[in-house]
Each structure stands twice: as C-alpha cells, then as structure tokens.
Structure 1
Amino acid sequence: MAEINLYPERQRQSISWYKFSQAFKTINFVVTVIFFVTALIIVAFIILNQNAINQAKAEEDDYRSKLKALSDVEYQYMFIKDRAAKADEILKTRKVVKNLEDVNSIMQKVGDVNLTEVQLEKSKLSVTATVPTFSSLKTFISEIKSLKSYQKGMIDSLSFSPDKGYSLQINFQ
C-alpha cells in the first residue's frame, strides 16, 4: 500500500528529520530500559545489604551476650589467680614454712594428739587439738614450749571430757 501524505508541503517532515526522530525514540527506549534495570539492581543491592547488616547486628548481639557470660567466668579466674598468687606469696616467706615444719615435728614426737584446727599466718600460729591422756598433754605442751619461733604463747581454752580427753586451744605470737 502506498503512503499518502496529506499534509501540506511546508508541514511535512523531511526524511532526515523522520530518521532522526525514529533513532531518538529507539535511543530513548534503550536508555529507559537501562535506567529501570539499573534501578532494580540498586534496589536489590540495598535489600541484600540490609539483610547482611541485620545478620551482622544479630551476630554482634550474640557475641555481646557470650562476652557477658564469659566475663563472669573471667572474674572467677581472676579471683582464683589472685588467691593462688597470695598463697604463693605466703609460701615464699620462710616464716610460714618454718612454722609448718615446727607443727609437723611436734606431731611426729607426740603421736596421739589429734589436731582439729591449725591456722598459720606470718607472725601467728593458732592450734586447736584434742589429747586423750594427761601424759600426752604434758609432752605436747613441753614440745610447744620448746619452740623458739614465737615470743609469746597463750592457752586460750583447756577443757576435759571423759570421752575425748583434753581439748585445748593455743595461740602463739
């Protein structure tokens, strides 16, 4: 079919102008498609990054809760380490070790004395013991008197029970 152009000649488009408008429409369509594809890619990228950010925040909260739980354990370890350091410090002082050796030597010499409590400090020794017979008590007290490590010894309590024997508490300074 033939194309009939009823426009007057002044209003008719030239062929070059017509080709230019067709090329412009094609370019416009391609640019619009590229724009929408780019916009979709950017929106998808934002959504995916938002999910990654949310996951990172969840992991951070999880790590914070784990750190909080571990801080209690760390506090206990620090407490134990502090106590061990204090025990090492006490053991390094020769006075306490000598006091312990003195108590051991007395126990070897007087066999039937039952020590119920011994407290050792740098300058103090506290002994609580039960002795079944008077002769053992006499030997125990004479051995304690022979200790030269302390300036003063004091019997805080002395009692007798027919079942257990003599019970005494002695503090040395």
Structure 2
Amino acid sequence: MGQINDIALVAQVVVFKNIKAFDTLVKKYQSPIRRFFLHQTLGDSELSDDLAQETFIKAYTSLSSFKNLSSFSTWLYRIAYNVFYDYIRSRKEECGLDTYEVDAQYHTEQKAVGEHMDLYLGLSQLKEVERSCITLFYMEDLALDRISDIMGIPTGTIKSHLSRGKEKLANFLKNNGYER
C-alpha cells in the first residue's frame, strides 16, 4: 500500500507540479534518511541535516527520472548513498588526507558520552562501505536485495561487508567493555 501511495505522490509532483505531494514524501522519509546520515557521519547531526536536505533537493530535481523499477524508498536511499559518497570524495579532494575520519573521530571523542558514542566510535573503525552496509541492514532494517540496489553492488558482496563489519564492530565493543 505504501509503495502505491508513494507512486501516486510522485505522479502528482511530476504531472501536476504538486509541491504538497512532495512535502508528504519528505515528511514520510526525512527521519529514516536523516538517521542513515547520522550513522554514516558518526553522530554529526548538523552534517546529517545538510546531507539529508541535499538528498531531498536532488530527489525533487530528478523526480521525473524515477522509473518505478524499484520502490521509491530504494531510489531515495540510492540518492542519499550517492550524496554521502560525493561528500566523502569532495573532502578527500579538498584536503588530500582522509580528514573526514579524523574530524569524525575527534568530534566523537569530544562528546564521548553513553552507548551511542561508543557505537559511533565503533562505526568509525569500519570502512565506509562496511559502515553503509551495517547501517542499512541493522539500523534501517533493509533487506539484502534492497541494499544491493541502493549501493549498486552484488548481494554476496553486501554479505561479505556485513560479516567483516559486524566482526570488527563486535571486537571493538568487546575490547571496550561490552559483552557479545
């Protein structure tokens, strides 16, 4: 039912330029998209908000290219995934170093309070692709085939990244006082 409703809203935006219909889509998906970015940026809420806003702007400007080959949410997560990796690439090009990870680590260390911060520190130990897989599978509760569509990599590769990421995260948390 939700997918049919999403398609109807997309059609209203594309055909009738109904901005309220797009507003309904934003309200429906803003929390999951922002949460995805929050995990990817290791808790940086301002950056997460900026990236989520950029995602919805890109979605709106390219809404006519949505062909309903996947669900609207998969299409939207794919845009979010690309927005995040564009951000990472631009940071690497600007600085030459992987300052995103350095900034995130110090940002997280400054606020190291509670279990969320421990989780973000653990996530910071993962490669970006592993963190994306962990976030989409465990935190966003998406199926492997949807993650494959979003990330553009085979399901078997997703499983490998999940396995390695889960093991690294478990080891990090175990070494920091958490039981399995």
Q: TM-score normalized by structure 2?
A: 0.29
Task: Give the structure with higher Rg (CA).
Answer: 1
Higher strand proportion, which one? Answer: 1
Higher helix proportion, which one? Answer: 2
Higher relative contact order (CA 8 A, sep 6+): 2
Q: TM-score normalized by structure 1?
A: 0.30
